[in-house]
Amino acid sequence: MESSTPAPANPGTSPLRVLVTGTSGMLGRAVAQRLQDAGHHVRSLQRRAVHDPWESVQGSVTDAGVLTRAVDGMDAVIHLAAKVSFTGPWSEFQSTNIEGTRELLAAARQEGVPDFVFVSSPSVAHFGSSIVGAPAGAADPERARGFYAQSKAAAEQLALAADSPNFRVAAIRPHVVWGPGDTQLVERVVERARAGRLPLLDGGRALIDTTYVDNAAEAIARGLTRMDHAHGQALVVTNGEPRPVGELIAGICAAAGVPAPAFSVPGWLARGAGSVLEKAWLAAGNRGWVNDEPPMTRFLAEQLSTAHWFDQRHTHDVLDWKPSVSLDDGLAKLSDHYSQHL
């Protein structure tokens, strides 16, 4: 399977062979790139044939044969692949996020891969109210909000339950990852703002901590080298720079050269409207009337109108790491990205 001689690794660390799933996304790609740059051997698992700068196995995470091939000979797995959406039927979240994780865990354990990093989300322990400087809470599929968070919570539980001395599993939960090329947060914000469809909730006052993509990738890669400390734990990763969400959005809009939201609606109203729209869009989608996302969902409204920022001290200790790109530097990089691409 080895395709090339590994580049020289960092002094003192031996090159690892790492399977990274979800490299089609911004964060997965950043993680794979970072590992490769550090001299590790990277293999990706891709649904479709792509031209990656690293070894790639083609197939679905729900196909056991594919998974066995993918994990074969690996020193570690970093599992990022997931269905990330505010909408969609539960069955899709379940099969991709829960069953996919279950299968991958089983395959990795069976093939004797010693380390497994499950990339999770703080939303697995966000139950709709504010999180103010709290440490990582326990994942709870019953109380998490929305299908995505519920399925990730169940998957994280599966992953951490599999942790053992011979098969070490850590969960890393980067919070609201953004950066150049981000289709999840940045593109949504920019598109809606450009269309004048992006309100602030409660004046955008809720304090939210986010993660610049390079920092998230760093922390995930760091998880591999600190596995002896991190295994068995869920670690929230952020920039450690809580900001009012209105300011963050204004910053992203400014970087993309679109006008910042100029109107605000009360949070309670948006949460209520989100619930209604979500159901309406789901029903309409089932009938083939719409194929886009609703303008507001309850999950999104909660995310935008409640504080969620975290105590990073434990994460910094366990990973022996601190973020290297500040929020303002990240916004500058985003601005560069847009000025080059527009």
Query: Can residue 204 be called a binding residue for another protein (CB under 8 A)?
Result: yes
- Binding-site member from 134, 269, 282, 284 for another protein (CB under 8 A): 134
Beta strands in the chain (DSSP E): 17-21, 41-46, 55-58, 76-79, 115-119, 131-134, 168-174, 177-178, 200-201, 207-208, 211-212, 234-237, 243-244, 264-265, 308-310
Q: Could you say whether residue 313 binds another protein (CB under 8 A)?
A: yes
Q: How far is the CB of 246 from another protein (least distance, A)?
A: 6
Count of beta carbons in the 10 Å neighbourhood of residue 39 = 15
Options 191-199, 274-282, 284-292, 302-310: segment touching another protein (CB under 8 A): 302-310
Binding mask 153-192 for another protein (x = CB under 8 A): ----------------------------------------
- Residue 142 buriedness (CB in 10 A; 0-12 / 13-18 / 19+): exposed
| CA–CA distances in Å: residue 9 to residues 47, 115, 211, 314 | 29, 19, 27, 28
Q: Which is nearer to another protein, 316 or 333 (CB)?
A: 316
What secondary structure letter does DSSP report for 138? P
Calpha distance 31→213 (Å, rounded): 9
Task: Give 268's contacts (C-beta < 8 A, 6+ positions apart).
Answer: none
244 sits near another protein (criterion: CB under 8 A): yes
Active-site residue, 212 included: no
Q: Name the packing angle between helices 100-110 and 146-161 (round to 10°).
A: 20
**Which of residues 59 and 133 has its CB atom nearest to another protein in the complex?**
133
Q: What residue type is assigned to position 263 of the chain?
A: F
Q: For another protein, which stretch binds (CB under 8 A), given 47-55, 139-147, 202-210, 230-238?
A: 202-210
Catalytic residue among 86, 116, 118, 148: 148
Q: Is 247 in the site for another protein (CB under 8 A)?
A: yes
Listed ranges 100-108, 127-135, 151-159, 189-197: which one lies at the site for another protein (CB under 8 A): 127-135
DSSP conformation letters of 156-197: HHHHHHT-BTTBEEEEEEE-SEE-TT-TTTHHHHHHHHHTT-
Name which position in 312, 325, 330, 334 contacts another protein (CB under 8 A): 312
Residue 14 or residue 129: which is nearer to another protein going by CB? 129
Contact 206, 306 (CB under 8 A): yes
Nearer to another protein, 37 or 329 (CB): 329
Least Cβ distance, residue 179 to another protein (angstroms)? 21
**Is 178 or 309 the residue whose CB approaches another protein more closely?**
309
Using CB under 8 A, list all residues that contact another protein: 130, 132-134, 201-207, 240-244, 246-247, 250-251, 254, 260, 267, 305-307, 309, 311-313, 316
The catalytic residues are 148
